[in-house]
Amino acid sequence: MEVPPGPRKNARGLKSPMRLYEYEGLDIFEGFGIPVPRRGVADSTEDALLIAGEIGYPVVLKAQVLVGGRGLAGGVKTAETPEELEELSASLLNSEIKGLPVHKLMVCEKADILNELYMGITVDGFSGKPVVVVSTEGGVNIEETARTSPDKITSFYCDPAFGFFPYQARMLLRRLGLSERLLTLFADVLVRLYRVFAQFEALIAEINPLVVLKTGYQGGLLAVDSVIEVDNSALSRIKRPMPELTERIENPLERKGREIGVTYVDLGGDIGIISSGAGLGMATMDIIGERLKPANFLETGGGITEELLYKCMELVMMKSDLRAIIINIYGGINPIHEGARGVVRYIKEHKVKLPIVAKALGNHQEETWEIFRDGGVHVITEAPTEKAVERLYELVGEE
Amino acid sequence: MSILIDDNTRVIVQGITGKIGSVQTRWMVEYDTKVVGGVTPGKGGSTVEGVPVFDSVEEAVEQTGANASVFFVPAAFVLDAFYETVDAGIKLIVVVPEHIPVHDVMKIRAYALEKGVFALGPTTPGILVPGKGKMGIMPGSLFSPGRVGIISRSGTLSYEFAGILSEKNIGQSAVVGMGADPVVLSNLPDILKLFEDDGETDAVIIVGEVGGMQEEKAAEFIANGMTKPVASYIAGRFSPQGKRMGHAGAIIRGSAGTVKGKCEALGTAGATILKSPIEVLDWTADKDIH
């Protein structure tokens, strides 16, 4: 079964982490004493030239996009001269990397690399522990290394209440065969990275590559890249200035979803979906996806009110060429009768003619059905979502 | 004896005086759950739905003999409330709220494991044992007593499956919401084991979804000697996938996480794979489960 094309985002969107740009991550690293290159951020070629002039050529231009695999996708270039920089910068700033527009470039000094190391810390879902991963073979092929040379990678599962100490870092790195000065330098950076991970409540904090310089520079190591994803649920208590999450959502409909407090993913089809949970929404897509195409994924989570579903209708209806809407909600924690009032208020105020199918079960179901029927909604009172999708086919026909 | 909730289960509701806590207390009481008390610091001495409210869990346990707790505590206070509940000696905790910081969940998971506490959630609808009681937010009308166990990562899909079965008069022995967060307090194999060991359960449905490695680990458990029939639906076949940043996850998890991979793992282990929820009725007919 093929996944339809379209923007690729996690269906549990509100739970998906806030990603920091590489330059934001490097600023954080610097604040935690991790050696980083001289650099600047430019949103125009003029600014890029000014920054490069201060750093001195050659410089590396790095497209700032929130997606992995940037290097292999052509988002990193070296400029030897101002002329070259002008040309590269102009083309990068007008480009897209894996479907994301490049708004900013980071201009940084070109490191004199002896070799590349890797360190990353992430949350392991199954064990529920932070896991520290290190390798002596960093760079773009690190996942390949994990498959082909597992002896060059090692990991350590931390006790989340205990934290991660320098002795543990040294023990871990000895397993990779590191010794002497490199071991102590690497361990020092690793412990600092763990502090970033803990204090920013990160789901991932990664340096790839951490380069070993040919010439000694701030002790011989340099973090030339950063990946940080911060847990959305912790944003309000992180005691450091953080960028505004909503602002970095590119798609305007998805941004509006975030603003009203629901997970909205924009898709290519023409059937609107409103569901009261991520799992139910995904199942609805699975069932629709056999024969029709979803226009969006929307899930409310446990926060349904009359106002919220009114706004959800508004959001789903913003999509042009919609053919029908399917509403799939359960009354467990959600007062679905209140939600139904919001939907019907929207229908009446905007004289919506589009076919709308609603399956609603659970607490207050009878009241909910009555309200929906009053608004001309096709109500399904049986549990299988398949029944609701069948009704949808009857109403709109297949493609 | 049913799993997790039986005649001896005495429940307190933490965050009982909140909007959601008080409404859900009413539903739990109406479902004949033995709700013996509630806790909201600062609101001790009052009552909600006829249930006495205490300032601390310790006091609630002393006064009521409570041995289980369900949380409707605001996400930011869950860490403190969870430690308090464990220290008061309660051995079964259901954490309903969503949006609890993952770093807090890692800590409470470690503490629960250390102290031998069975906990569920976060972001779980809880547990419902038809005819015995419920801890959480599952709407009672969709469930009926019987011998099929359901474990679901998604709350709404646990209702969907129970509803589909109940409409055909196939009852459930217990329905357990594992919780939808990246880190949960009990993993899928832990819950599967409860059903495998339960004399009132004949067969189990696993409702999973794309991402993580819970279903792959459940497949290992099944392959290592699960005797009861298992059916599994994994949501997300047509869901857009997240753009990935960083490598650490891929290095430690390998290829785990896709719907295809999960279905293959579970199928190889002997589970029946359901491509769509309604196919569960073919499975119950085929296996003569009723």
Determine contact, residues B234/B189, Cβ cutoff 8 Å.
no
For residue A394, is pLDDT > 60? Answer: yes
To the nearest whole number, what is the mean pLDDT of chain A? 91
Looking at residue A125, its pLDDT comes to 93
Looking at residue A10, its pLDDT comes to 37
- Do B220 and B259 fall within a single domain? yes
In terms of residue numbers, what domain contains B54?
A: 11-120
Please state the rounded mean pLDDT for residues A303-330: 96
Final residue before a domain boundary, out of B98, B120, B142: B120
Looking at residue A281, its pLDDT comes to 95
Q: Which residues of B touch A330 (CB under 8 A)?
A: 139, 155-156, 159-160
Mean pLDDT per block of 10 residues along chain B (290 residues) reads 91 97 97 97 96 98 98 96 98 96 97 98 97 96 97 96 98 97 96 97 96 95 97 91 74 81 97 97 93
CATH number at residue B40: 3.40.50.720
By CA distance, what is A329's nearest residue in B?
B156
Determine contact, residues B132/B158, Cβ cutoff 8 Å.
no
Looking at residue A30, its pLDDT comes to 97
Looking at residue B243, its pLDDT comes to 67
Please tell me the total count of domains within chain B. Answer: 2
Tell whether domain A249-396 is in CATH 1.10.3720.10: no
Interchain CB contact of B211 with A (< 8 Å): yes
Residue A16 pLDDT level (bands cut at 50, 70, 90): low
Element (DSSP H or E) covering residue A173: helix A166-175
Residue A197 pLDDT level (bands cut at 50, 70, 90): very high
Q: Do A160 and B107 touch (CB under 8 A)?
A: yes
Looking at residue B1, its pLDDT comes to 66
Q: Do A363 and B141 touch (CB under 8 A)?
A: yes
For residue A14, is pLDDT > 50? Answer: no
- Domains A18-36+112-230 and A249-396 in one fold: no
The predicted complex's ipTM stands at 0.94
- Do B154 and B282 fall within a single domain? yes
Interchain CB contact of B114 with A (< 8 Å): no
Residue A2 pLDDT level (bands cut at 50, 70, 90): very low
Element (DSSP H or E) covering residue A146: helix A142-148
Q: Do A289 and B98 touch (CB under 8 A)?
A: no
Q: Do A1 and B103 touch (CB under 8 A)?
A: no
C-alpha distances out from residue A85 to A61, A74, A103, A105, Å: 8, 15, 16, 11
- Domain presence at residue B5: no
- Tens of pLDDT, residues A87-118: 999 999 989 998 889 999 999 999 999 999 99
C-alpha distances out from residue A158 to A126, A146, B164, B185, Å: 13, 20, 42, 17
Q: 3-class DSSP state for residue B147?
A: strand
Tokens at residue B279, please?
Answer: 């196919």
CATH number at residue B145: 3.40.50.261
CATH for A18-36+112-230? 3.30.470.20
HSE value, Cβ hemisphere, 13 Å, CA-based, for A79: 31
Tell me the nearest-neighbour CA distance from A343 into chain B, angstroms. Answer: 20
- Do B139 and B271 fall within a single domain? yes
| Spatial separation of the C-alpha atoms in residues B129 and B144, rounded to whole Å | 9
- Tens of pLDDT, residues A359-391: 999 999 999 999 999 999 999 999 999 999 999
Q: Which residues of B touch A123 (CB under 8 A)?
A: 102, 106, 182-183
Looking at residue A249, its pLDDT comes to 84
- Do B94 and B213 fall within a single domain? no
Tell me which residues of chain B, numbers 46 to 75, contact chain A at a CB-CB cutoff of 8 Å: 75
Element (DSSP H or E) covering residue A20: strand A18-20
Final residue before a domain boundary, out of B62, B92, B120: B120
Q: Which residues of A touch B159 (CB under 8 A)?
A: 330, 332, 361-362, 383
- Do B222 and B105 fall within a single domain? no
Tell me the nearest-neighbour CA distance from A142 into chain B, angstroms. Answer: 7
| Better-scored residue on pLDDT, A241 or A137 | A137
- Do B144 and B274 fall within a single domain? yes
- Nearest CA to A156 among A129, A128, A189? A129
Tell whether domain A38-110 is in CATH 3.30.1490.20: yes
Mutation target for B interface from A203, A333, A389: give the one with most B CBs within 10 A: A333
For residue A141, is pLDDT > 90? Answer: no
By CA distance, what is A13's nearest residue in B?
B242
What dihedral do alpha carbons B281, A330, B26, A12 form, nearest 10°? 110
